Amino acid sequence: MTELAGPEGAASAEQIGLSHREAAASPPGHTPSQGTMAPRDAQSWAAKVDRLAVDQRAGVRGTNVAGRRLTGPVQGFGKMWQKTYRMEVGDAIEPAAAIALWRSNFPDFWPKGNRFAGALTGINPGDVALLDLAVGGGVKLSTGVFVLYADTESFTLMTPQGHMFAGWITFSAENAGDGTVVQAQVLMRASDPIYEIGMTLGGHRKEDKFWVATLRALGDRLGVPDAPITAENSCVDKKRQWRHAGSVWHNSMVRSVLQTIAAPVTALVRVARRGSSTTREEQAAPVRNER
């Protein structure tokens, strides 16, 4: 196990708007009528989706998510890694309390410069959150995550096509004998060859810092600012899956850069379209009045 260096400043990200889709979904704890044979985990898993549908939210660009498929480690390109970040928070905090706090305030614990636009109700199965991630050079990588699973002891996010990695991040808490341990565990492959190079050239280190900072911010909120944090990375599969190299087409980093460059032109086109549609409405209005 490797003890990693201390926290980066963690600032509040935003929890922005409840989408129509999420508003129509079951609230947390709601149990729809089901047969008596429904599995115990039935309410914890998201319903099956083929492609992600999202509503725009203020505060994030919200691109590179709609219409994308979910990707697990099976669909990724690079080596498969399991990364485990653990924080001991003592015996005064119950695991369920730690997870409840984490689920309901998830964006608050993200490191500064990154935005997680989820639902106001917190993390619930089937939610789609939009992300703007700071990748350096003033570029924000726009992508998203899907809430695959959530219960009182853990929750799991799954990534869409174009995300840096294909896989899952599971956040959990358990009583480990001496006290409660909270954990973030990533099971992932880099999504495509570009990301694989990026992960090798500092991406893994950056991700380690990201999750350590997240745990540190959670520890602060739980009242244990100096809680020991450990990180353990293991390569589960050294093979690269070249059959998935074509995933580079969806690369959100490349697309985000292009979207940033094209932003002024896109804005002009949007203004021009708005102007022309307003003119058409003004011209059409007298015709309606004459009837």
Contacts with other proteins by CB under 8 A lie at 38-42, 44-49, 69-75, 80, 82, 148-149, 151, 154, 156, 158, 168, 170, 172, 174, 176, 185, 187, 236-237, 239
For residue 70, the minimal CB distance to other proteins (Å) is: 7
For residue 187, the minimal CB distance to other proteins (Å) is: 5
For residue 18, the minimal CB distance to other proteins (Å) is: 23
Contacts of 110 (CB under 8 A, 6+ apart): 10, 13, 116, 214, 217
Residue 13 or 80 with smaller CB distance to other proteins: 80
Residue 60 or 157 with smaller CB distance to other proteins: 157
Contacts of 183 (CB under 8 A, 6+ apart): 84, 85, 86, 87, 170, 171, 172, 173, 174
Q: Is 59 exposed, middle or buried (0-12, 13-18, 19+ CB in 10 A)?
A: middle
For residue 40, the minimal CB distance to other proteins (Å) is: 5
Residue type, 215: L
Buried/exposed code over 174-201 (b: 16+ C-beta within 10 A; e: otherwise): eeeeeebbbbbbbbbbbbbbbbbebbee
Residue 48 or 288 with smaller CB distance to other proteins: 48
Residue 50 or 290 with smaller CB distance to other proteins: 50
